[in-house]
């Protein structure tokens, strides 16, 4: 598995917090906030396999053992869409893994995790699972995948969701989820629901939801795309399912401590399958110590400005109501503000 460091994305460099689609064409349209500065970089990958890979596998395995049914499920997923989405996941993981993973149309192997599965993608089943020794095989030694979606998702850092659109009515709904790193939301609450319902709890999402039909058509017919969401968290844990054990981020600490603060950026890709009437979403959090993320005074200034652009409802949605004064004071200090 690749030992490169994860990318440090800074979508807040716009100095404005915005709830919008914010779509960039994957492999076509440069993203302007990648890396250590604001240079534009053309992103082409769907999955990001870097030195944090073991942490993702360990976190997913722990959630799987605790209560898989709270993180994953299907609702009205057709065999055609299941097959199209999972075939894309299998071949793309293999292509982007640097040789660690392979897919021959029937068998998916991961040398790092030391397992191989025979999969029926349209039925969504794991027909056979064999295990061997691998550098990370201990992380999944007690994990038993229950479906093709479950197995493939356990091999990726990214979480997976499949959106379906009814070919006759045009109604959209979330047909499958395998989301093991949610940020304080329950994936099953969204299962079977339409785009507007899924995003309704997000403060300021009204304009985004109003464009849902056009957005969904673009995602299915004109992708693939990449987009980003961001926030400040008081924990670097990946899994913040509401039913998971509490940690510092959920305790809603009343005092901001920069040494316990992290920038959490979610990179999402959206790939459509027009013939199967749906699309695949991948969701992968990037978590960086806040001191590292704003070591440049200009970055601290931009993050402070972005937080100041939030409405009170958005501040509350992000869990920052009690922390924001301390966060802004610290960011202003880092930025050299008078």
Domain residues for the domain of 139 are: 11-290
With both helix axes pointing from N to C terminus, report the angle between 297-308 and 324-335 in degrees, rounded to the nearest 10.
Answer: 150
Residue 336 covered by a domain: no
CB atoms within 10 A of CB 301: 19
Residue 56 covered by a domain: yes
Residue 335 covered by a domain: no
Asked if residues 121 and 90 have their Cβ atoms less than 8 Å apart, the reply is yes
Residue 320 covered by a domain: no
Residue 47 covered by a domain: yes
Q: Quick one: pLDDT at residue 162?
A: 97
Alpha-carbon distance of 44 to 140, in angstroms, equals 29
Q: What is the pLDDT along the chain (338 residues), one digit of tens a residue?
A: 667 889 999 999 989 998 777 889 999 988 888 765 556 788 999 999 999 999 999 999 999 999 999 999 999 999 999 999 999 999 999 999 999 999 999 999 999 999 999 999 999 999 999 999 999 999 999 999 999 999 999 999 999 999 999 998 988 999 999 999 999 889 999 999 987 777 766 756 666 667 677 888 999 999 899 999 999 999 999 999 998 887 766 555 678 999 999 999 999 999 999 999 999 999 999 999 999 999 999 999 999 999 999 999 999 888 898 999 999 999 999 999 54
Residue 322 covered by a domain: no
Residue 312 covered by a domain: no
Q: DSSP secondary structure string, 292-336?
A: HHT-SHHHHHHHHHHHHTS-HHHHHHTT-TTTHHHHHHHHHHHHT
Domain count for the chain, please give it: 1
Residue 308 covered by a domain: no
- Which residues, 6 or more positions from 169, have their beta carbon under 8 angstroms from its beta carbon? none
User: What's the whole-model pTM score?
Assistant: 0.93
SS3 265: strand
């Amino acid at each position: 598995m690749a030992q490169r460091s994860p990318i440090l994305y800074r979508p807040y460099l716009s100095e404005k917090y915005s709830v919008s689609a914010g779509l960039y064409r994957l492999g076509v349209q440069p993203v302007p906030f990648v890396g250590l500065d604001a240079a534009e970089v053309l992103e082409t990958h769907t999955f990001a396999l870097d030195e944090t890979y073991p942490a993702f596998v360990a976190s997913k395995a722990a959630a799987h053992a605790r209560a898989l049914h709270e993180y994953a499920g299907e609702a009205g997923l057709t065999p055609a869409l299941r097959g199209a989405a999972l075939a894309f996941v299998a071949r793309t993981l293999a292509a982007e893994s640097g040789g660690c993973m392979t897919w021959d149309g029937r068998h998916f192997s991961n040398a790092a995790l030391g397992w191989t599965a025979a999969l029926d993608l349209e039925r969504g089943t794991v027909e056979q699972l064999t295990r061997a020794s691998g550098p990370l095989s201990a992380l999944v030694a007690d994990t038993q995948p229950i479906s093709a979606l479950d197995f493939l998702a356990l091999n990726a850092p990214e979480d997976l969701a499949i959106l379906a659109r009814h070919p006759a009515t045009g109604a959209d709904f979330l047909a499958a989820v395998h989301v093991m790193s949610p940020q304080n939301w329950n994936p099953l609450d969204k299962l079977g629901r339409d785009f507007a319902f899924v995003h309704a709890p997000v403060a300021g999402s009204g304009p985004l939801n109003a464009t849902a039909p056009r957005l969904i058509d673009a995602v299915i017919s004109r992708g693939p795309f990449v987009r980003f969401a961001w926030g400040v968290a008081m924990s670097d844990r990946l899994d913040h399912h509401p039913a998971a054990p509490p940690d510092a981020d959920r305790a809603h600490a009343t005092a901001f401590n920069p040494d316990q603060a992290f920038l959490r950026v979610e990179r999402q890709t959206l790939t459509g399958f027009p013939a199967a009437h749906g699309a695949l979403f991948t969701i992968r959090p990037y978590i960086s110590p806040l001191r590292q993320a704003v070591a440049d005074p200009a970055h601290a200034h931009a993050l402070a400005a972005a937080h100041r652009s939030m409405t009170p409802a958005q501040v509350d949605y992000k869990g920052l109501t009690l922390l924001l004064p301390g966060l802004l004071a610290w960011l202003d200090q880092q930025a050299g503000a008078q």
